[in-house]
Chains A and B, each alone.
Chain A
Amino acid sequence: MAAPSAPAVRPAAARAPAPHPPGASPLRRGQRRAAALFIVPFFVLFAVVMAAPIAYAVWMSLFQERSSGLGFGGTERVFAGFGNYAKALSASGFRSSFGHIALYCALYIPVMIGGSLALALLLDSALARAKRFFQLALFLPHAIPGLIASIIWIYLYTPGLSPVLDWIGALGGSWDFYSDDHVLTSLVNLTAWQWTGYNMVIFYAALQAVPREVLEAAVVDGAGAVRTALTIKVPMIASAVVMTVLFTCVGAIQIFTEPKLLNQRGAPSIDTEWSPTLYIWKAGFVQHDYGLAAAASLMLAALGIALSYLVTRLGNRWKAAQ
């Protein structure tokens, strides 16, 4: 968590060559052995929990289970080449799930990142009181597992059970959290509630590293609190912002628990293929089509990698422009 608080150093300085270029002072054999000792566990774990499963998924994605006639004579595994990839891409459910996620991100990321940034700046301002308390209180929702959080919010969303809806009704209004128009905001509300506090803590930590003399200079120059926050503090924690946007994007395309529960509670427009992970889950565990599930998973992973690259590139450009 503390890593992003380093950006006090300007990016240009960070890119300067290291004082001792690698290779200038060759490692002694003993040192090399010690280095290997530290590195090997990483590669072993990486191979076992990352590389091997991915390779296995690639292998699985190339096969399909086929039966014949009525199907009671057993199944056989046949090589399908890219058949599973074509099947996933031609499924309208899989394609539209990416559209749903894009819409979700378009609403969720600005609301959540903007919200946590605003809260962090408020907490960091000279006027804030009881900072410790608010830090903890705002972080608390993140300590609740996503599943439990979903259950709590679904309780508040469900007509007939929800006290919130009873109050709205008592005031003469009406609201349907599950209707096609509102379900996206209901979902964003749920996830933003969980993650705003978490990212706020990251931003707040980064703000602590902003040098006091810079802020004092701003005050001497006549900058008000808002001006200081927007033109001094925000650019100085740009690295933290880019990093959280990156993590949020990668997390958002994998959203599963919240739409799954909303689907079970009968939100009509959240169907069983609403997000890519729901589609994959259904392919694997309802249809028992492991090849299709593997192919779709790999495509989702590829999207995640592409998105990370894009966010990092755009983020670096933004930081450089500050």
Chain B
Amino acid sequence: MTRTSRSFRTTATLAAVAALGLLATACGGDGDSTGSAADGKPVTLTYWTWTLGAQSTVEAFNRTHKDIKVELTEIPSGTDGYSKLANAVKAGNAPDVATIEYQMVPEFASQGNLIDLSEYAGETVRTKFPQSLQDLVTFGGKTWTVPYDAAPQLYYYRTDLFKKYGIEVPTTWDEFKTAAEKVKKQDKNVRLASMPKNDPALLAALSWQAGAKWFSVEGDAWKPAVDDAATTKVTTYWDGLIEDGLVQSYTGYSPEETKARTSGRTLSFLGASWSAGGMRTAMPDLAGKWAAAPMPHWGTPASGNYGGTSYGVLKGSENAKAAAEFITWLTTNKAGVEARLADLESPSSALPANPEMREVAAAKFDTGYLNGQDLYALASEQAETIVPGWTWGPNQMDVYTAVQDRTAKSDFTSGVRAGQRKAESGISERGLKLAK
């Protein structure tokens, strides 16, 4: 499903680990977090996440807080992780705090898996985050999660190979196509980029950039438009590139995709601010050979959000107040942001949503891998161009699978049509109101 920074994680090995992990936690549920600050003992919070730098963040928090202790459990990202969280809520052994991507907030909130945080964090969200991100975590007048990062799209390319093939960094999608043709002409085994058919989150971000709105709210009804005009423009463009053999179509976040990049058969890729963190671990030998640029656009500079995370408190938690305190520290405290980037093994390159924290993160980020390029300045600039007004749907995961299943069998254009049908049927089936 949605991919964030760790490109290796959809490898099958991880599937195995995930399966084992599921078993292990199924057997030993963490039970109730007992105790409260009132009786003098520290409150113990359980925290499930898959984000980079989590370990060092939790250690830093525990070092500086006497009354709250956080216990970290790593879970898989994507569908597997959300299944695990939803099942834990049903089983009554959910963690207090978990990472919820923006795209999952409406689904998780409307399925009753989240605690309304308006009382504890509503003020923080209103005062410390840009409106565009507030819109992604506020529904029905309630604050459900607290944003951590903005995920503007970025275009990563091999500087050495662009020089070798005589290619300028494309700024528009027309130039991107011309560059793709030029690369193919010079070497039939090499392509400018690869467009995965199994990453609907990327397709959503590209559609968002083009001005699409997959979901909107009309009064008390949902209005899905997964196959709107802007989306269809995007899908037609990529279907054309794939049909003409101008781009590859490897499975996203797969070993073969990474191998094509490391062996120089794919010259660039469509990523986001967080991608840089994973590149260092996935392609250590290519340090200094990559650079980031704004995503090519349709005429005026624009960006979508590709991924992006927030933090929520799960239903059943008895420590919502302490959990909100931890979340506030994670998202708006200098020490929290620094700790996340200081992780030696898996440093994050996420762009904090809170503008003050951006400077903190930028100062801490090691730019060595990108040859000294100021990634945070670029990402901050791009974050300003994120098109406002996007809303995720109440059955987003289901829509994603419908898009992905259909796309795999035919093309993106039929994929989004299947996604639209699923959006409509899913909303009605759950008794939600569908705008006509």
Using a CB–CB cutoff of 8 Å, the interface residues on chain A facing chain B are: 65-75, 87, 147-148, 150-151, 154, 158-161, 261, 264-269, 271-273, 282, 285-288, 290
9 contacts across the A-B interface (CB closer than 8 A): A70-B394, A71-B110, A147-B15, A147-B19, A151-B15, A158-B256, A282-B401, A286-B397, A287-B398
A66 and chain B: residue at smallest CB distance: B431
Any A CB within 8 A of the CB of B260: yes
Enumerate B200-228 residues with CB–CB distance to A below 8 Å.
217, 220-222
Q: Looking across the interface, which residue of chain B has its beta carbon closest to that of A148? A: B16
Residues of B within 8 A of A (CB): 10, 12-13, 15-16, 19, 79, 83, 86-87, 90, 106, 109-112, 139-140, 142, 197-198, 217, 220-222, 250-251, 254-256, 259-260, 394-395, 397-398, 401, 404-405, 408-409, 426, 429-433
Closest to A266 in B: B251
Q: Are B12 and A68 in contact (CB under 8 A)?
A: no
- The answer to whether A265 and B430 touch (CB under 8 A), given A151-B12, A271-B409, A286-B401, is no
> In the complex, A273→B160 CA distance in Å?
43
Known A-B contacts A159-B256, A286-B397; A68 and B13 likewise in contact (beta carbons under 8 Å): no
Partner of B409 from A65, A159, A268 at Cβ < 8 Å = A268
User: When the two chains form their complex, are residues A264 and B432 in contact, meaning their CB atoms are under 8 A apart?
Assistant: no
The docked-state distance in angstroms from the alpha carbon of A273 to that of B19 is: 19
The 4 closest A-B pairs by CB, nearest first: A72-B140, A71-B110, A266-B251, A66-B431
> Which residues of chain A have C-beta atoms less than 8 A from B398's C-beta?
286-287
Q: Which residue of A lies closest to B256 (CB)?
A: A160
From known contacts A264-B10, A286-B79, infer whether A70 and B256 are also in contact, taking CB-CB under 8 Å: no
Question: Are the CB atoms of B83 and A285 closer together than 8 Å?
Answer: yes
- For residue A83, give the distance in angstroms from its CB to the closest CB of chain B: 10
A161 touches B110 (CB 8 A): no
- With most chain A CB atoms within 10 A of its CB, the pick from B395, B401, B408 is B408
**Closest beta carbon of chain A to B107's beta carbon, Å:** 9
> B80 — nearest CB in chain A belongs to which residue?
A285
Residues in B whose Cβ lies below 8 Å from that of A288: 86, 111
**A70 touches which one: B139, B197, B429 (CB < 8 A)?**
B139
Tell me whether B217 and A160 are in contact (CB under 8 A): no
**Judging by beta carbons under 8 Å apart, are A75 and B408 in contact?**
no
Give CA–CA (A75, B430) in the complex, Å: 9
Q: Inside 8 A of B217's CB, which chain A residues have their CB?
A: 70
A268 and B405 CA atoms in complex are apart in Å by 8
Write the nearest CB–CB distance from A284 to chain B, whole angstroms. Answer: 8
A271 partner, pick from B106, B140, B408, B426, beta carbons under 8 A: B408
* Cα separation A251 to B13 with both chains bound (whole Å): 24
Contacts of B426 in A (CB 8 A): 287
Closest to A180 in B: B409
- Closest chain A CB from B425 CB (angstroms): 10
Q: Determine if B15 and A72 form an interchain contact, defined as CB atoms under 8 angstroms apart.
A: no
Chain A, Cβ-Cβ closest to B11: A151
Residue on B nearest A75 in the bound complex, by CB:
B112
A152 CB to closest chain B CB (Å) equals: 9
Return A84 CB to nearest CB of chain B, in Å. 11
Asked whether, in the complex, the Cβ of A66 is within 8 Å of the Cβ of B83, the reply is: no
Closest to B407 in A: A268
Question: Which of the residues A71, A73, A271 comes within 8 Å of B405, measured between beta carbons?
Answer: A271
- Contact of A161 (CB < 8 Å), options: B220, B222, B256, B429: B256
Most chain-B Cβ atoms within 10 A of its Cβ — which of A72, A73, A74, A282?
Answer: A72
CB distance from B392 to the nearest CB of A (A): 13
B401 touches A70 (CB 8 A): no
Question: Are A74 and B397 touching (Cβ within 8 A)?
Answer: no
Q: Which of A73, A266, A285, A286 is B140 in contact with, Cβ under 8 Å?
A: A73
The interface residues of chain B lying within 8 Å CB-to-CB of A151 are 12-13, 15-16
**In whole Å, how far is B181's beta carbon from the nearest beta carbon of chain A?**
23
Nearest CB on B from A210, distance (A): 42
Considering the chains assembled together, what is the distance between the CA atoms of A75 and B109 in angstroms?
A: 10
A67-B431, A70-B432 in contact; A265/B254 too (CB < 8 A)? yes
Q: Given A66-B431, A264-B10, 19 other A-B contacts at CB below 8 A?
A: A65-B111, A65-B430, A70-B394, A70-B433, A71-B110, A71-B111, A71-B394, A72-B110, A74-B112, A151-B15, A160-B256, A161-B255, A161-B256, A261-B15, A266-B254, A271-B405, A282-B401, A285-B83, A285-B87
- Residues on A with C-beta less than 8 A from B401 are 272, 282, 286
The answer on a CB contact under 8 Å between A87 and B429 is yes
Measured between alpha carbons, how far is A264 from B259 in the docked complex, in Å? 18
Given known A-B contacts A147-B15, A266-B198, A282-B401, A68 and B87 have beta carbons under 8 A apart: no
Q: Of the candidates A69, A73, A161, which one forms a contact with B259 in the assembled complex, judged by CB atoms under 8 Å apart? A: A161
Q: CA separation between A282 and B83, bound complex, in Å?
A: 10
Tell me the minimal C-beta distance from B202 to chain A in angstroms.
14
Instruction: Report A277 CB to chain B, min CB distance, Å.
Output: 15
Q: Out of B221, B404, B405, B429, name the residue touching A69 (CB < 8 Å).
A: B221
Q: Which of A68, A267, A269, A285 has the most CB of B within 10 A?
A: A285
Name the contact of B430 in the complex, choosing from A67, A150, A161 (C-beta under 8 A). A67
